[in-house]
Chain A
């Protein structure tokens, strides 16, 4: 058990060091055998084939693709074929906790300030009313759509 705890702790530490800022690479694991593509397209050239459980550095996300670095290659993998190391650690931790053999090691239970405040909501209807001033006109919504060339389907 100690080994498993240490492994989960390592995963959390690794993932934690590289928090969510997209400018940093975050560790991730290949969920199923996947091609590493040169460009983020299904018909792009395959640089190599990544085996299941290969660890990669997740650099950024674009469309349905993740830009990753593995060994000395940088390429693209489909977003659904990856799982972040943090998610792997969380799943293991949850399974670990469910087993009842030990308490979840990462359940430090640091609560957000919001949670405490949520328990003591106090009335402020005037604040909801304040949002009226941000309401766009119909013309502004049409302009927003037109400028962006958003096509409804």
Chain B
């Protein structure tokens, strides 16, 4: 090989490595910026819950399991165990890339054509079969699961439940969980579920949804997936009449898909365009879900 050819190849590889490092850096910078903007709020939430409500990680886990079980009960689990295993494996992989890599992430596919996804405290994530049927590849599913993972890692539902518990006259959600653990559970579980049901029927703050979208996209991209996965799902949702029964709840409890897309375009598109291209994995998704 001629020396000049060798030099060209060497310089090419070097440029490639530098470009890759820069684009990965853009992804990390954007992630850090979003993280910082959420840190103050997360700290406030943490102080509030830790101070007045005294929830231990175990308390959070119990609350999350209680709410997840009640949500699963509405439609039941989808009978395809291979599908459940697939979603749990993909979700666990994404969870390990999140800021909470060590918690026991649990995922469920709900047996309904309704289009929705839920998360409950401490790592329970539920996605409807109807939403999976709307998707076309694994990057889209990774985008949706990452959105829900961010709700968990940012403790969005804990804050909302805390707010709701005050409104419902339950002074201390931590005490409620504590009393439930001591026995005499039926009344306490009932109160907890009542507070939780209000949160799920009402939805989270818009800001929380926007944060989950943007940090979720960064999480799935950081995990190696095409950053446009969630964006394609939102575009697909934008083709459905929001008054249709099977999607009415999702649109009622979330900002419009159009508004979510506008926020992503405004705050994240430049970063996405600079990011290394990720994988969509259509074949793997079709094999596992159809």
Contacts and interface: CB of A to CB of B under 8 A. Distances in A.
B165 to A, nearest CB: 15
A84 B261 CA distance: 12
Interface residues of B, number: 87
Contacts of A123: 66, 69-70, 186, 189-190, 193
A100 interface: no
B258 A90 contact: yes
Contacts of B64: 128
Given A148-B284, A150-B223, A153-B222, A115 B258 contact: no
B280 to A, nearest CB: 7
B48 interface: no
Interface string A100-117: 000000111111111101
B210 interface: no
A128 B241 contact: no
A80 B193 contact: no
A153 B27 contact: yes
B136 A61 contact: yes
Interface in B209-244: 221-226, 228, 231-232, 235-244
Contacts of A111: 245, 248-249
A20 B115 CA distance: 12
A22 B96 CA distance: 32
A45 B57 CA distance: 55
A70 interface: no
Given A118-B197, A135-B92, A18 B239 contact: yes
A22 B236 contact: yes
A128 B66 contact: yes
A124 B72 contact: yes
A147 B62 CA distance: 35
Interface in B237-287: 237-249, 252, 256-258, 261, 265, 269, 272-273, 275-277, 279-281, 284
Given A86-B239, A90-B258, A150-B224, 8 more contacts: A18-B239, A90-B242, A111-B249, A114-B74, A114-B75, A114-B116, A118-B249, A121-B73
Interface of B: 24, 27-28, 64-75, 77, 81, 84-85, 87-90, 92-93, 96-97, 104, 106-108, 112, 114, 116, 124, 134, 136, 138, 186, 189-190, 193-194, 196-197, 200-201, 221-226, 228, 231-232, 235-249, 252, 256-258, 261, 265, 269, 272-273, 275-277, 279-281, 284
